[in-house]
Amino acid sequence: MSFLSKLFGGGAKTSAEPAGDKVLGEESYKDFTIRAIEMRAGSEYQLAGTIDKDIGGALKTYRFVRADRMSSKDDLIAMALNKGRQIIDEQGENIFS
């Protein structure tokens, strides 16, 4: 790959980029919707998800990504939903501010 191609964005993508927001699991919690999102980091999954809530007729979304990695899709779903509940318990609607 040429120098100019790398300089102007033609380089390879990093291994921890989202895979098109493929939803692996979802649950409702305290009027919020938590989704576990597939984010690959090489051969592992990286902890990622979204939290949504309709506020005043507008859908608000908060995206979270953590450094935790796991090899099991089931572990990822459980941890992402748990992390979403924790964020909601700690911050509530302030996550959208």
Residues 16 and 41: beta-carbon distance below 8 Å: yes
Cα(48)–Cα(77) distance, integer angstroms: 9
pLDDT value, residue 97? 86
Domain ranges across the chain: 17-96
pLDDT value, residue 32? 96
**Which residues of the chain, if any, have pLDDT below 50?**
1, 3-6, 10-19
Q: How do beta strands 44-55 and 58-70 pair?
A: antiparallel
Residues 32 and 53: beta-carbon distance below 8 Å: yes
Q: Which fold has domain 17-96?
A: Double Stranded RNA Binding Domain (3.30.160)
86, two tokens: 């924790």
Residues 33 and 54: beta-carbon distance below 8 Å: no
